[in-house]
Amino acid sequence: MFYKFLIMLFLMAAVFVGFYLFQERPPKAIANLETTIKLKPSSKQTNKPDLTSKSQSKPSSNTRQFPKRALLDTIASKPRAPDFSLLDEDGKIHRLSDYKGKPLILNFWATWCPPCREELPSMNRAWKKIKDEGIEMIAVNVGEDEDTVFAFTAEYPIDFQVLFDESGEIIKKWSVRGLPTTFILDIRGHIVYRATGGREWDAEELLDEVRKLKMSNIDF
């Protein structure tokens, strides 16, 4: 009787062990891969704004209060601005040297950049003030393709010239560290001022500094 009891225990143990060893389980590599997929963001995800989302904040046409900072940072050395050749929305090439002879407000921006979006209305208002005063304004989009910018400008129009630095090569030459960054060039094509971060570009005290550059009686 005792031996029969031991045999039954042995058989029950064998069945349990066999069930544990031969049940269908995913390989460890697959389990690890699934964990990685869950934790690792998709390579297609970006910080670009979701233009279809109703929660997407649209730049207000009202004046926005940016953090207090100097209107414009003076560049004492006034270096010659690095030239570039960039395409506009129509595929036309624009060279920086084409704008020589007029003060130029050159803004580097991107659609995913909140301060860039916030300052755009003031830049549009500034453009309305200065476009007939012999001052130029350019917005250079950084790192994005035309379709992305077209979709953005359909929602948030930009009234002045937009150029594309899709490769990001130009901002390297200009030593842009953050967006938005705006440079003010004099009539000779030298960098006189820089503004890092958002500004109220239609402020008269700021535009007056740009207007003064038209008076520069300097030979080319």
Q: How far is CA 191 from CA 43, 66, 74, 115, 136, in A?
A: 37, 24, 9, 22, 14
Question: For residue 66, how many other CB atoms are within 10 A of its CB?
Answer: 14
Structural Rg of the chain based on CA atoms: 30
Using CA atoms, how far apart are residues 167 and 174, in angstroms rounded to an integer? 14
Known catalytic residues are 116
Using CA atoms, how far apart are residues 64 and 66, in angstroms rounded to an integer? 6
Which of 154, 60, 56, 39 shows the shortest CA–CA distance to 112? 56
